[in-house]
């Protein structure tokens, strides 16, 4: 019986020593602090080069149509109608701007009124126009 007690005691002591070694206070954890990226660490792709197009003002109306995925220049005109989508449009002065297209970036100088029925357009102007927006997710920056 004493061999059995000695074996059980030896196993218990060995197990206790093993567990103490794993959880001892001498254990160290090497973790480096997480660094927050700075603006110079973040890289963004330059905007894509778009094919360029120019729209004329004819009889007081400039129509931007079927110029998807293009950079469009529009001169001063009484009325500008934009039915195209996914375009970058730079325009001059207009009494009236109508946008039925979607996902356009439009920069306008002086505009008296803006009517938007398309969705997700961003319009930036230097003026304070009257705005009628029945589309969704459009933004007008003044």
Per-residue model confidence as pLDDT tens digits over 79-127: 999 999 999 999 999 999 999 999 999 999 999 999 999 999 999 999 9
CA dihedral 58, 59, 63, 67 (to 10 degrees): -10
Residue 77: CB atoms within 10 A of its CB come to 23
Q: Which residues contact 16 (CB under 8 A, 6 or more apart)?
A: none
Tell me the two tokens of residue 7: 């074996």
| Confidence at residue 77, expressed as pLDDT on a 0 to 100 scale | 98
Confidence band for 8, pLDDT divided at 50, 70 and 90: low
Quick check: pTM over 0.75?
no
Residue 13: pLDDT band (50, 70, 90) is low
Rounded alpha-carbon distances, angstroms, from residue 36 to 31, 40, 136: 15, 11, 35
Query: Quick check: 49 pLDDT over 80?
Result: yes
Distance from C-alpha of 101 to C-alpha of 105, rounded to nearest angstrom: 11
Q: What is the mean pLDDT of the chain?
A: 83
Dist. CA 45–CA 62, nearest whole Å = 32
Least confident of 7-11, 89-93, 134-138: 7-11
Rounded CA separation 3/16 (Å): 20
Residue 60, pLDDT > 80, answer yes
- The mean pLDDT of 15-38, rounded to a whole number, is 56
| Rounded distance between C-alpha atoms, residue 102 and residue 86, angstroms | 7
DSSP state letter for 89 = E
Q: Is the pLDDT of residue 41 over 90?
A: no
In sequence order, what are the beta bridge partners of 86?
none
Task: Give the pLDDT of residue 103.
Answer: 97
């Amino acid at each position: 019986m004493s061999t059995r007690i000695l074996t059980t005691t030896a196993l218990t002591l060995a197990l206790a020593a093993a567990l103490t070694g794993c959880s001892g206070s001498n254990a160290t954890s090497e973790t480096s602090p997480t660094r927050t990226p700075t603006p110079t660490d973040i890289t963004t792709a330059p905007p894509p080069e778009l094919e360029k197009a120019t729209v004329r003002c004819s009889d007081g109306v400039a129509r931007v149509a079927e110029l998807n995925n293009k950079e469009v220049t529009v001169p001063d005109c009484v009325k500008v109608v934009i039915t195209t989508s996914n375009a970058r449009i730079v325009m001059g002065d207009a009494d009236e701007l109508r946008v039925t297209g979607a996902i356009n970036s439009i920069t306008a100088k002086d505009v008296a009124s803006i009517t938007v029925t398309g969705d997700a357009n961003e319009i930036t102007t230097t003026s304070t126009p009257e705005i009628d927006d029945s589309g969704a997710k459009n933004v007008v920056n003044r």
